[in-house]
Structure 1
Amino acid sequence: MFIKSIPSLLTLGNLVIGMVAILMSIHGHFNEAALLVVIGMLLDGLDGRAARLLHAESEFGKQLDSLSDLVTFGVAPAVIMYQVLLSHLGLLGAVLAIWFPICGTLRLARFNVETKSSSYFVGLPITAAGGILATMALTRPVLHPAIVILPLGMFILSVLMVSRVRYPNFKRVAFPKSAVVLVPLFVVIVFCAIKFHFIRANWIIFGVLAIYAVYGMLRGVRRHRIRRARGMSSNDVEMDGEVEPSSPFREM
């Protein structure tokens, strides 16, 4: 019985990490808070794999995962960005801080009700958006003018979450069973490396996730141009043979 609970415990661990990240950012520990969001990303990928490995997938687990994701990748990154920069923008900053988790909530709700593909996500996953935002907040000292670039980037990430842009789904990529043991060890090693300044991982993580976000946008533009050139509507079968899934959020 305990074995079947492991995926849910990993998901709850992700939720705890999100709450701790919020508290740490409130107290000014922005680097550590952003790092916790990144560690939460690893746990988020691990709990689903553990559920499939242990044959413990359930509707309860899916809903628990969404609620945890909202805290760790929706609320926590928004609080980090608010503490780092948005608090200086008055009402606009408050609106942006609220707007991001709202879009994340819509993204998660849409994901839970629409037909899913094993090869792609519709809209930027909140996990990636939250990781980008948390690490992007740490780039403020080198961005000029950061007071314009960072809020604009936050708004774009929010819109991408509720867009119809497709992103590759790496969650179904096969990994050896030993990953269940090795991933937590990897998390500890990365945490220690960053904590003691052996590496500047925030830039690496931000760069990788930003490339993922931009890739989806460029791919979406390319698909749109090809569809127009072929005279195809958005309801037609597209160039890769996939059909756009129906959704109550289609117009978003």
Structure 2
Amino acid sequence: MIQKSIPSLFTLGNLLLGMFGIMMALNGKIGMAAIMVIIAMLADCLDGRVARALGAESEFGKELDSLSDVVSFGVAPALIMYVASLHDLHNALAWSVTAIFPMFGALRLARFNVHPGIPGYFIGLPIPAAGGVLSTLSLFHKDVPPVFMVIAALLLSYLMVSTVKYPNFKKVGLPRKAVIGAPVVVIIAVAVAVVFPDQISKMIFVLLALYALYGFKQNIDRLAARRRRRNRRRSDDEAYHSKNG
């Protein structure tokens, strides 16, 4: 019984870190708020792997994971963005963009629970990646105009509910013997993040932004290929009618 509860402890840790991120953002500690989201991502990466390693996967854990993700990677990043950059904008715009991000994140999670995707790929940008990009991007609020944050939030929201394929690394397993070391990994990550908050956050931002942009480029390439096929068919039809007209 205790063994089957271990993965849920990581999931609840994810939720707890998301709540800490929200509270830190409300207190104006944007850097530490972003760090909480990043560490929550680590906990989110571990809960499923720990569950598979222990043979403790369950529908309960799946639902708890989604609920936690909405808070840690939907609400928390949106609030971090709002406090850091959007609060000076017109309320209607700032509130709408702040609300849209977690709403689309919830839609992404609901779709994932019903249609997990295809082997090796996620369909749409995973909400932890989207939330990680948004929360760490907020660290650049002094150098980035609010309108850029608005565009980034809307783009990330779109990518979450899009049909763009993203590589899925969740199936990378965790040996059963390594489960005992998982909490140690989290503790070390917390210590490193607290000592080097800005450096860690900005490094994570670059990695996550590249992952998000990969899917965006894939979408553009797919649309371009579709247009080329349509133009080719049109040219073939015109050539056929010209020849037989």
Structure 2: unaligned runs, 5 residues or longer: 231-245
- In the alignment, residue 168 of structure 1 is paired with which amino acid? P
- In the alignment, residue 174 of structure 1 is paired with which amino acid? G
2:116–2:122 contact (8 Å) kept in structure 1: no
- In the alignment, residue 188 of structure 2 is paired with which amino acid? I
Q: Does 1:206 align with 2:173?
A: no
The CA distance in 2 between the partners of 1:193 and 1:25, in whole Å, is 20
Pick the structure with greater CA Rg.
2
Cα deviation for residue 175 of structure 1 reads 4.2
The CA distance in 2 between the partners of 1:226 and 1:138, in whole Å, is 36
Q: Sequence identity, in percent?
A: 49
Partner of 1:35: 35
Partner of 2:92: 91
2:104–2:157 contact (8 Å) kept in structure 1: yes
Partner of 1:26: 26
Cα deviation for residue 177 of structure 1 reads 4.1
Deviations 1:22-43 (A, max 9, x none): 1111111111111010000011
Partner of 1:241: none
The CA distance in 1 between the partners of 2:20 and 2:40, in whole Å, is 11
Partner of 2:241: none
Partner of 1:140: 141
Normalised TM-score (structure 1):
0.85
Q: Does 1:184 align with 2:199?
A: no
Cα deviation for residue 186 of structure 1 reads 3.4
Mapping for residues 150-189 of structure 1, pairs under 5 Å: 150-177=149-176, 179-189=178-188
1:78–1:133 contact (8 Å) kept in structure 2: yes
Partner of 1:6: 6
RMSD: 1.8
Mapping for residues 100-115 of structure 1, pairs under 5 Å: 100-115=101-116
Deviations 1:118-169 (A, max 9, x none): 31011100010001111010011233xx222111111111111111111000
The CA distance in 1 between the partners of 2:31 and 2:152, in whole Å, is 19
Please identify which structure carries the higher helix content. 2
- In the alignment, residue 114 of structure 1 is paired with which amino acid? H
The CA distance in 1 between the partners of 2:228 and 2:156, in whole Å, is 28
1:118–1:172 contact (8 Å) kept in structure 2: no
SS in 2 for 1:121: strand
The CA distance in 2 between the partners of 1:82 and 1:198, in whole Å, is 20
2:53–2:173 contact (8 Å) kept in structure 1: no
2:20–2:33 contact (8 Å) kept in structure 1: yes
Partner of 1:242: none
Cα distance 1:224–1:37, how it changes in 2: closer, same or farther (>3 A)?
same
Cα distance 1:138–1:58, how it changes in 2: closer, same or farther (>3 A)?
same
Cα deviation for residue 16 of structure 1 reads 1.0
- In the alignment, residue 126 of structure 2 is paired with which amino acid? P
SS in 2 for 1:124: coil
Aligned pair count? 229
- In the alignment, residue 21 of structure 1 is paired with which amino acid? G
- In the alignment, residue 141 of structure 2 is paired with which amino acid? R
* Deviating more after overlay: 131-140 vs 176-185: 176-185
Q: Which has the higher contact order (CA 8 A, sep 6+)?
A: 2
Structure 1: unaligned runs, 5 residues or longer: 232-252
